[in-house]
């Protein structure tokens, strides 16, 4: 409720620029969708700057994106323009559950889903297919983020 009141206050004077920091944090799915739609409508003739790590928020709301690293903009463009950078680098494969740990050790697995018959559907990042019978997957903005900011750098303490 406090978040809603704060957002309402910020919009009272019909600002031409609105800056939001993690605006959807703590919202349930229904509120998240309503808020996302509201921001999309509100931003129609205004500039709305959103800082978030929830990349799916950006895919649904933003018409232009800027990616920052170490306080500097490293790239900018529409979601489609940015995502083109990793076309051909996102792969899917169906693996036996018992081999999953082996593949997690050598691949940048970004998603996994249990399937029937002790199988796992994985989504991974690589310059070329690294698992037999892999298939190309359409990239998303989240994939680009994970490509640009690999987990091993975070674990080493780099930012």
CB atoms within 10 A of CB 33: 13
CATH-assigned architecture of domain 2-63:
3-Layer(aba) Sandwich (3.40)
Structural domain boundaries in the chain: 2-63, 85-154
| Predicted model pTM | 0.75
- Per the DSSP assignment, residues forming a β-bridge with 121 are 94, 113
Distances (CA, A) of 91 to 49, 70, 150: 32, 29, 16
CA 55, CA 18: separation in Å to the nearest integer? 19
> 45-74: per-residue pLDDT in tens?
888 888 887 888 788 788 888 888 888 999
> 91-105: per-residue pLDDT in tens?
999 999 999 999 999
Dihedral over Cα of 25, 15, 17, 46: its sign: positive
């Amino acid at each position: 409720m406090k978040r809603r009141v704060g957002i309402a206050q910020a919009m009272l004077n019909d600002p031409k620029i609105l800056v939001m920091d993690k605006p959807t944090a703590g919202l349930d799915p229904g509120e998240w969708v309503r808020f996302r739609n509201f921001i999309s409508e509100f931003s129609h003739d205004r500039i709305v700057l959103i800082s978030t790590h929830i990349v799916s928020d950006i895919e649904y709301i933003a018409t232009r994106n800027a990616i920052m690293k170490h306080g500097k903009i490293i790239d900018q463009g529409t979601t489609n323009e940015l995502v083109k950078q990793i076309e051909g680098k996102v792969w899917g494969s169906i693996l036996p559950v018992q081999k999953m740990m082996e593949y997690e050790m050598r691949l940048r697995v970004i998603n996994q889903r249990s399937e029937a018959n002790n199988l796992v559907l994985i989504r991974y990042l690589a310059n070329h297919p690294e698992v037999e019978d892999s298939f190309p997957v359409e990239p998303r903005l989240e994939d680009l983020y994970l490509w640009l900011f690999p987990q091993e750098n975070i674990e080493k303490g780099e930012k």
